[in-house]
Amino acid sequence: MKHGDGARVNSLSVLEFNGLWEGLKTVDYSLYWTGATKLNVEHSSLKHLPVRILLAHSSSTSLFACIQEPLTPAKRDDATSSLTLGDTLHTVLPSLFPSTSADDATASWWVQGVSPSLDTPVWWLAETACHPDNFLYVTVRPREAAGGG
């Protein structure tokens, strides 16, 4: 998904692929990286960003819906600025994020237990905070409406 085709995965040797799989199964970080290092590339060459948004049904529930949208790390209008977390949440969940500003958001969000700025480039989050399955998980929980219980 990240690279647009299976060429990178297919380029892994049997030893690298088995190390990657065994590392995931046994939670062996060093074994996992024998194959994973070949799958990582510069963000400028990524075709898609694997992002999953876990949306809580309400502020008081532990039930989540998983939203998976294909994101392309394309540049916005000004060539110096990348797709941000705010852009992503505004596009995918416009009712909770009516703009890219945190002031307008009616939900809380977390990546790996922290709430990054909505100005954070998504490629950077995907590069630094993705899970071993290479997906970036963003958890979103609606805030209670004023006067709500």
Task: Report yes or no on 15 lying in a domain.
Answer: yes
Question: Per-residue confidence at 149, pLDDT binned at 50, 70, 90?
Answer: very low
**65 and 23 together in one domain:** no
Say if residue 71 is in the same domain as residue 123: yes
The confidence score (pLDDT) of residue 132 equals 75
Long-range contacts of 96-102 (CB under 8 A, 24+ apart): 96/140, 96/142
Is 97 found in the same domain as 57?
yes
Helix (H) or strand (E) holding 53: strand 49-56
70 within some domain? yes
Dump pLDDT digits (tens) for 16-52. 778 877 887 888 877 777 667 666 655 455 567 788 9
Looking at the structure, tell me whether residues 48 and 93 fall in a common domain: yes
Does 23 share its domain with 79?
no
Domain of 21, in residue numbers:
7-36
CATH of the domain at 54: 3.10.20.90
Instruction: Render pLDDT for 53-109 as a digit per residue (tens, 0 to 9).
Output: 999 987 666 778 899 877 776 544 444 457 899 999 999 999 999 999 999 999 999
Instruction: For residues 61 and 88, state if they share a domain.
Output: yes
